[in-house]
Structure 1
Amino acid sequence: MPTAGRLAAALAFFIYGWYIPLQATPLFPEGNLPGYAVPLSIVVGILVGWMVVGSRAGRGYIAAIGNGLTGAAAYTLWMVFLISFYDMIRKSLRRLYDGPMDAITDVFNLMLKLGTDFYDINLIINVAVGGIICGLITEYFAKRYP
């Protein structure tokens, strides 16, 4: 059911989904942001805001901090998975795998590699603080417009 909290969360995570890949640009190979990264990030941000953070809005500001951090973790996990899955599909179309099980298990290896490539304290702080801010914005609108 649409609520003000869900809408506020979707809009806050829309901005969050636009901002985070721009902060991660130097960490991509050769410092180039792939063309699909920002649109994918925005869509994931909107979905995480609507379904994860927005559905838990209205429980208080302390809970909003936890909701924002949960949303940031969900956003990060989905982005790492989807980018790794996209890379696996590209590799499989070039016939670099012996079979489908090799491709499926390589997704998790690609996720681990991507996670270590993006291990940067500034990016982690941006992700966490941005999630907290989005959670607080969501809570404000959920309380103000029930």
Structure 2
Amino acid sequence: MQIPTMAKLCAALWLAFTGFFAAQEILPNLPDGVEGAGVLPVIAASFGLLIGWRVVGLYPGRRWHEALNDGLRGAVYMMLWSYGFLGVAQMLKLASRMRYRDIGEATIDIVGQAAIVAQASMSLSVAAVLIVGAAFAGLSSEWAHRRFGR
């Protein structure tokens, strides 16, 4: 079992903020009728909190550029999990309306629904929020480790 550290806490909080504000930038670009779009900021922040704790803040005490890479990797993981969540939610909405012939078609459509959400998030403002927030997550994790130790 891993012990809580300030490095993990800083990474988790920064990545949660990053997820929340990136989702706020994505919302206006989403197509109408996407299930779970209203709670996307909360979902992205939750995934950011979890991934910041488990991925970004896991190995502090290395060089600054490695901490930066950890933050960027955490942001990519956060967005992929958020896309997957929305893909599953949209698939379940469509499945309840009997839009699929079998379970295989529904399962494959999860990727298609997630791709629709990912396409909506392809903008410069979303990328800027993700890159800056992820950089702060990684660097603040490293700073907290150096400042407060384990």
TM-score (norm 1): 0.91
- 2:131 corresponds to which of 106, 128, 133: 128
What amino acid sits opposite 1:10 in the alignment? A
Count of residue pairs brought into register by the alignment: 145
Give the share of equivalent positions with the same residue, in percent.
Answer: 26
What amino acid sits opposite 1:13 in the alignment? L
Cα distance between partner residues in 2 of 1:16 and 1:117: 17
> How much does 1:87 deviate?
0.5
- 1:69 corresponds to which of 72, 85, 107: 72
> Is 1:57–1:142's contact at 8 Å kept on the other side of the alignment?
yes
What amino acid sits opposite 1:17 in the alignment? G
Q: Give the corresponding residue for 1:8.
A: 10
Q: Give the corresponding residue for 1:44.
A: 47
> Is 1:18–1:42's contact at 8 Å kept on the other side of the alignment?
yes
Q: Give the corresponding residue for 1:56.
A: 59
SS in 1 for 2:37: coil
Q: Give the corresponding residue for 1:91.
A: 94
Q: Give the corresponding residue for 2:120.
A: 117
What amino acid sits opposite 1:57 in the alignment? P
- 1:34 corresponds to which of 37, 43, 50: 37
Runs of at least 5 residues in structure 1 that lack an aligned partner in the other structure: none
> How much does 1:35 deviate?
2.4
TM-score (norm 2): 0.88
* Structural RMSD (CA): 1.7
